């Protein structure tokens, strides 16, 4: 039985791509998860290949017991959103994933030319932790039990997510659209 995305894709999601694109890819991810780190360039490549045919959303699913910095990294990305920099922070967290245990988030903010004091202040706002928790809860309700987990047009994708397999699946769905 395939699991459905709950809640469905909405304007509350962080989105890249054309909001009206026929293909919708949602990732539940953890910024400290090595598998998510491997998926990151695959998603970037697929986005480049599918262009306006694909919209991509990222939802936080920090596996805090295994990855102690994951929750704080998710909150940092949400705090960066307040400076219109969710996606730059998202990308930076994955590109420098190995530095997560070593660098304070204000250093990440400075690298992205964000107001690091504002980022640190915003990270203390309980509404941002609540947003991360809400993403996590939506993942649980959607049948997510590990990261990364992908949903395509609202249905969980359980096949290989190597670039060739995922791209072929997306292209098949696009051909049916």
Domains, in order of start, for the chain: 28-176 (3.40.30.10)
Alpha-carbon span 119 to 127, nearest angstrom? 14
pTM of the model: 0.96
Q: List the one residue out of 25, 5, 6 whose CA is nearest residue 15.
A: 25
Buried/exposed 5-28: b ≥16 CB within 10 Å, e otherwise: beeebeeebbbbbeeebebbbbbb
Residue 113 DSSP SS3:
coil
Alpha helices in 51-155 (DSSP H): 70-81, 86-95, 105-111, 116-123, 126-141
Terminus-to-terminus CA distance in the chain, angstroms? 22
Instruction: Give the Cβ contact number of residue 176 at 10 Å.
Output: 7
Alpha-carbon span 88 to 18, nearest angstrom? 18
User: Is the distance from CB of 157 to CB of 169 less than 8 angstroms?
Assistant: yes
pLDDT in tens, the chain (177 residues): 569 999 999 988 999 999 999 999 999 999 999 999 999 999 999 999 999 999 999 999 999 999 999 999 999 999 999 999 999 999 999 999 999 888 889 899 999 999 999 999 999 999 999 999 999 999 999 999 999 999 999 999 999 999 999 999 999 999 988
Alpha-carbon span 43 to 169, nearest angstrom? 13
Backbone region of residue 84 per phi and psi (left: phi > 0; alpha: psi in -120 to 50; beta: other values): left
User: Is the distance from CB of 92 to CB of 108 less than 8 angstroms?
Assistant: yes
């Amino acid at each position: 039985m395939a699991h459905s995305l709950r809640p469905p894709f909405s304007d509350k999601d962080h989105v890249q791509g054309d909001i009206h694109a026929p293909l919708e890819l949602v990732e539940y991810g953890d910024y400290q998860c090595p598998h998510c780190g491997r998926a990151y360039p695959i998603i970037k490549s697929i986005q480049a290949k599918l262009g306006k045919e694909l919209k991509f959303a990222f939802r936080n699913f920090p596996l805090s017991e295994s990855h102690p910095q994951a929750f704080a990294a998710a909150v940092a990305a949400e705090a960066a959103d307040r400076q219109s920099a969710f996606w730059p922070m998202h990308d930076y967290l994955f590109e420098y994933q190995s530095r997560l245990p070593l660098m304070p988030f204000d250093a990440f903010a400075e690298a992205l030319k964000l107001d690091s004091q504002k980022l640190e202040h915003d990270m203390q706002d309980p509404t941002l932790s609540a947003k991360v928790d809400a993403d996590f809860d939506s993942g649980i309700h959607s049948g997510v039990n590990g990261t990364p987990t992908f949903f395509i047009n609202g249905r969980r994708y359980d096949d290989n997510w190597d670039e060739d397999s995922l791209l072929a699946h997306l292209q098949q769905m696009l051909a049916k659209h």
